[in-house]
Each structure stands twice: as C-alpha cells, then as structure tokens.
C-alpha cells in the first residue's frame, strides 16, 4: 500500500549520510532501511532468525545502496508515521560538485564516525561543507563493539577538528569492551540489545539511573546556552521533562548551534532504532528549511517550500538504468503531476512528465503527484542532465547559476 499521500510534509525527513570510507556508511544504511521497513523479509525467512536476516541483507546489498534516494518509513513510539528519504551523498571529494548538489537537496544529515578511527579527513571536509550550506547535522559514533572504541574521544575530536558542538543524547554502556546498551539521556529509558541485535527497552539499574541523572544535567546546561526557552526553565529551576529537552535540542540543532550524538554499532544492529528516532526528533522537515535563491532574467528571487506556489525543482542526479535514465529531482515549490508540461532549463524546452516514481529498498513505486519537499524520480527523459531546473512553463527560473551555455543563451 502506498503511504505517500497520507504523510504530511512536516513528517518527512530528507537526509544524507556522510562518512569517511570504512566508517560503516553502507552497513548503517542497510540496517536503517531494514529497520525502517523498506527491506522486507521473504517467505522463507523465519521471524527473528538473525543469521538468515543477515544473509538476506547480503543478497540485497547493492540494490539499495547504489540508489540516489531511497524511501522508508519510521514510526517512533507514540507518534505518527514519518517518511524518511535517504539521499546518497558521494564520499569522494573528487566529485566536489556532486557533493555540493547532494548537500543542496537534503534537509539534514547524519555523520558516521568510527569509534576507533574517530574523525577522519574526508568526513571533516564534508562536515564543513554541510555546515557552510547550513545543513543541520547529527552524529552516529559507529563500531562501538570494537576493542578500542572510545565514545568520548570522538566527542573531543568533533570539537577540536570540526569546531562542532556535540551533545551526547545517549551514552553507551560497555561490558567486556562491547557496547551492550545505551542510556537515553533525553528520555527516561535504556535500550538493551540481545546477542542477535533485537532491541528491548528496559528499566534502569541504579548505575544507569545515576549516569542518566548526571549526564542529563550536563546536557541541559549545555543546550540551555543555545536555547532561551530551556535557559529560562533552567534558571528558574523548573523541572525539564523529556519533551521539553527534546524540543530545545531540536530548535538548537536546526539553528546550527550544535549536534546531537548517539553511539551504536551498525554491524551488531545496536543503536539503529534510537538513531531513527533521532532523525525524526532532531532533523528538519522540508518546511523547516529556509527559502532557496533562484535566478531569473529579472534578477534573483527566493523560492519558499510552498506546495501551492509555481513549480521549481532541481535535477540532482541522473542514474542510467536498463530501461533508460532516471532523473532524481528535489521539488522546492509547487506540485508535479504525471502529464504536466514543464519547462527545462537544460534544453530550454517544454516537456511532458511521462512517469514519476519513488525508489524503495526493494521496489519502485509509480506515483501520480509529487509536491514541495519531495524527492522523486522522472523516468523516460533521454537527454536529462544534473543541475537542470524544472519549472512551470510560465514561471521560468534557475535554481543553479549555470555558466553561459547555449541553452541558457537561447532562453535569453
Ligand atoms: P563504508 O565504506 O563507510 O560504506 O563502510 P562499510 O559499511 O562497508 O563498513 C566497512 C567495514 O567495517 C566492513 O567490513 C563492515 O563490516 C565493518 N563495520 C561496519 N560497521 C561496523 C560496526 O559497527 N562494528 C564493526 N566491528 N565493524 C563494522
């Protein structure tokens, strides 16, 4: 069943995963898609059989990961369903323009660091680029199961190498060098995983309660520096409940003041659900993002995320498939229906939208309409190029300033 139409835009998250090679981005992406219901079990797999799950994941490796944008759904406990779109962010700096473009179309990102290797040069570059673009960032400290894993050392490196302001919203609990549980510092719970990576939320031990209480005070004090509402409550010594702290963290993260950080192990399936919750809690919806600049013959203009405004969409990636190219677009404003005539900046032509689709981990869903904030693919356009803008025929503009090209000159 399609969930597209029923999820309002404030419950959508378009996010990228940025990482240094080998930090675990591929493994994490698979786990996230698996947990977020995008990779389904086939009939021969028994529920809870993790070895089989793992083999299944291995088989599916590659299908999911190569896609420019994959959609999934996540429902945090006690909340409505959210739509997640994971956008592939190239890790190689050789593709600088591709990195820039992918940073443009996402609304928030999670940086994956290895708890052993820490903050490495590539992730440093992309982190700084994302900050320049004003992209709100959270971090996942992966490989907490490895000997030598050091959560706090990575927080220090984030401060020193990235100039970041990390907020530990969860703390790892380590036993025999392996992370077995995490204490949620914002809420009042502990997540624990069994050997197969199945999560359980359990009551606190005395040690966990103590850790929670002291860490929570530290976190509140740190976030209060960046959020007036929390500061006021803190100064007046009013109790700060989970909802209040989470809201303050969200505001401060969206304002670019700091980054919530969570520990885990993608490989062991540990920490995936709290991370999915964090996407919803701390990363922006398309409506939280500022308007973008667009260029017209009469000068620059701003495009706000408004579904009732004229269409403005950017082609950010073209993937060649057996059946022809798939052009991934981000809609910044307006709506796009199958059958619509749109203007293309690349060839200065008006062209009809034949087919629209969204990709999930294991299937492609044909859709009829997309709206501001959506990331979808157009199928069937042979000569489409990245960087093109699509607009309403009577409302032409360009989202990317392109060097003088024949197409642009012809339009003038
Ligand atoms: P990518 O290059 O960032 O996409 O990293 P991969 O997901 O391919 O992971 C790189 C290597 O680290 C692989 O051998 C993974 O199995 C391993 N790996 C990924 N996550 C973890 C983890 O949480 N713990 C451990 N021990 N190994 C991991």
Query: Probe ligand 1: pick from 17, 24, 28, max atoms within 8 Å of CB?
Result: 24
Residue 406 has pLDDT above 50, yes or no: no
Q: What is the mean pLDDT of residues 114-138?
A: 92
Regarding the beta carbon of 265 and ligand 1, being less than 6 Å apart is answered yes
What angle is formed at CA 328 by the lines to CA 326 and CA 331, rounded to 5 degrees?
140
Query: Probe ligand 1: pick from 20, 26, 27, 61, max atoms within 8 Å of CB?
Result: 27
Query: Tens digit of pLDDT for each residue in 157-167?
Result: 999 999 999 99
Q: Closest Cα partner for 268 from 198, 338, 206, 320?
A: 198
List alpha helices for 143-197, DSSP H. 151-162
Query: Tens digit of pLDDT for each residue in 56-83?
Result: 444 444 444 456 889 999 999 999 999 9
Which atom from ligand 1 is nearest to the alpha carbon of 65? 4
- 284 touches 254 (CB < 8 A): yes
Regarding the beta carbon of 123 and ligand 1, being less than 6 Å apart is answered no
User: How far away, in angstroms, is 61 Cα from ligand 1 center?
Assistant: 13
Residues 6+ apart with CB under 8 A from 222: 165, 167, 258
Q: Whose CA is nearest to atom 21 of ligand 1?
A: 267
The CB density around residue 50, as the number of other CB atoms within 10 Å, is 13
Q: What is the mean pLDDT of residues 86-114?
A: 83
Regarding the beta carbon of 146 and ligand 1, being less than 6 Å apart is answered yes
Regarding the beta carbon of 21 and ligand 1, being less than 6 Å apart is answered yes
Q: What is the mean pLDDT of residues 33-43?
A: 64
* SS3 (DSSP) at 333: strand
Residue 128 has pLDDT above 60, yes or no: yes
64, 263, 273, 314 from 31: Cα distances, Å:
11, 15, 10, 29
Mean residue pLDDT of the chain comes to: 86
Cα first-last separation, the chain = 45
Q: Whose CA is nearest to atom 11 of ligand 1?
A: 22
In the sheet that holds 312-321, the strands lie side by side as: 349-352, 341-344, 389-392, 312-321, 324-333, 375-379, 355-359, 364-367
ipTM of the complex: 0.99
User: How far away, in angstroms, is 113 Cα from ligand 1 center?
Assistant: 11
Structure tokens at 75: 């429902």
- 107 touches 288 (CB < 8 A): yes
Q: Which residues pair with 12 in a beta bridge?
A: 83
Q: How confident is the model at residue 91 (pLDDT cuts 50, 70, 90)?
A: low
Query: Probe ligand 1: pick from 18, 20, 22, 197, max atoms within 8 Å of CB?
Result: 22
Residue 43 has pLDDT above 50, yes or no: no
Dmax (CA) of the chain = 72
- 296 touches 267 (CB < 8 A): no
Q: How confident is the model at residue 379 (pLDDT cuts 50, 70, 90)?
A: very high
Query: Tens digit of pLDDT for each residue in 290-338?
Result: 999 999 989 999 999 999 999 999 999 998 877 788 999 999 999 999 9
d(CA 410, CA 348): 7
Which atom from ligand 1 is nearest to the alpha carbon of 30? 7
Regarding the beta carbon of 22 and ligand 1, being less than 6 Å apart is answered yes
For tokens 């309409």, name the residue: 369
Q: Is the pLDDT higher at 351 or at 122?
A: 351
d(CA 96, CA 218): 38
Regarding the beta carbon of 19 and ligand 1, being less than 6 Å apart is answered yes
Q: What is the mean pLDDT of residues 127-153?
A: 95
């Amino acid at each position: 069943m399609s969930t597209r139409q029923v999820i309002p835009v404030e419950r959508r998250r378009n996010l990228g995963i940025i990482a240094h090679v080998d930090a675990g981005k591929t493994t994490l992406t698979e786990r996230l898609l698996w947990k977020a219901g995008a990779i389904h079990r086939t009939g021969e797999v028994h529920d809870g059989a993790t070895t089989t799950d793992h083999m299944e994941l291995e088989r599916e490796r590659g299908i999911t990961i190569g896609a420019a944008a994959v959609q999934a759904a996540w429902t945090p406990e006690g909340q409505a369903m959210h739509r997640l779109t994971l956008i592939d962010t190239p890790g190689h700096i050789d593709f600088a323009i591709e990195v820039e473009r992918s940073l443009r179309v996402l609304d928030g990102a999670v940086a994956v660091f290895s708890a052993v290797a820490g903050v490495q040069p590539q992730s440093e570059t992309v982190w700084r680029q994302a900050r320049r673009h004003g992209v709100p960032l959270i971090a996942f400290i992966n490989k907490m199961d490895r000997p030598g894993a050091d959560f706090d050392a990575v927080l220090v490196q984030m401060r020193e190498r990235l100039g970041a302001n990390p907020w530990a919203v969860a703390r790892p609990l380590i036993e025999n060098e392996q992370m077995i549980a995490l204490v949620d510092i914002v809420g009042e719970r502990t997540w624990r995983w069994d050997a197969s990576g199945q999560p359980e939320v359990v009551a606190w031990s005395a040690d966990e309660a103590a850790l929670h209480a002291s860490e929570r005070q530290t976190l509140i004090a740190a976030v209060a520096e960046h959020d007036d509402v929390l500061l006021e409550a803190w100064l007046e010594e009013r109790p700060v409940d989970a909802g209040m702290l989470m809201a303050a963290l969200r505001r401060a993260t969206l304002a670019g003041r700091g980054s919530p950080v969570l520990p885990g192990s993608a490989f062991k399936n540990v920490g995936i659900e709290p991370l999915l919750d964090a996407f919803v809690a701390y990363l922006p919806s398309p409506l939280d993002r500022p308007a973008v600049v667009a260029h017209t013959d009469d000068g620059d203009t701003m495009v706000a995320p408004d579904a009732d405004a004229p269409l403005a969409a950017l082609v950010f990636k073209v993937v060649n498939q057996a059946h022809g190219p798939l052009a991934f677009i981000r809609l910044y404003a307006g709506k796009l229906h199958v059958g619509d005539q749109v203007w293309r900046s690349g060839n200065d032509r008006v062209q009809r939208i034949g087919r629209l689709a969204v990709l999930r981990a294991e299937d492609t869903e044909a859709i009829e309409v997309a709206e501001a904030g959506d990331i979808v693919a157009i199928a069937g356009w042979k000569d489409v190029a990245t960087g093109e803008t699509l607009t309403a025929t009577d409302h032409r503009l360009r989202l990317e300033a392109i060097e003088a090209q024949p197409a642009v000159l012809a339009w003038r």
